[in-house]
Amino acid sequence: MKNLPKLPKGAVHAVAVLSIGMLGSITAGCYDMPEHAPMVNAADFRPFISLAPNPITFTPLSVFPCTGGGFVFDPSLHLVITASVNDVTFDSVTIHLVDGSNLGGPSVTVPRPQLTTLFGSTLIRAGTTRDFVLSPDFGCVTVFPTALQTTAVVVDSSGVQQTIVLQGMVK
């Protein structure tokens, strides 16, 4: 041990810091994340809702004639809700036909009791997705719709209400 060269004090500190940094990097690569640890993309903890099909196919029902003209438009659509990190309950949805005749066009609201009748529980567990198939009855409409807008209300497990608006084109 007599023949070891003397290093300047600053170099010894630099070698020590680099060694500790490399050791930290090497051991960090060996960490296996447990299967139950949730992976969240960004910091968005809101539920995600999508509308399908998009575009919505326009199929007037000629079997049911309307008095005074017009046609029956009875679309079938899927409202797909994904709960993020909290359980959410699908509370209500309002579906608007956007037809250019007024600000909102005809609309149909489906409140929670009716959703419960249609689907049983409307609870979506954290990290899961549910598909709610809806067939709103707009009755007789006289103007061809250009879009269908949904305003869905979900309530998370702490009671916070969130309103999410989507729009799908009609072709």
pLDDT in tens, 119-132: 999 999 999 999 99
Per-residue pLDDT reduced to its tens digit, 59-117: 666 566 677 677 777 788 899 999 988 999 999 999 988 877 665 678 899 999 999 99
Q: Which domains does the chain have, with CATH numbers?
A: 48-169 (2.60.40)
| Residue 14 Cα distances to 11, 19, 28, 37, angstroms | 5, 9, 21, 37
d(CA 88, CA 117): 18
91: exposed, middle or buried (C-beta count within 10 Å: 0-12, 13-18, 19+)? middle
What pTM did the predictor assign? 0.67
- Residues 6 or more apart whose CB falls under 8 angstroms from that of 10 comprise none
Question: How far apart, in whole angstroms, are the C-alpha atoms of residue 137 and residue 107?
Answer: 9
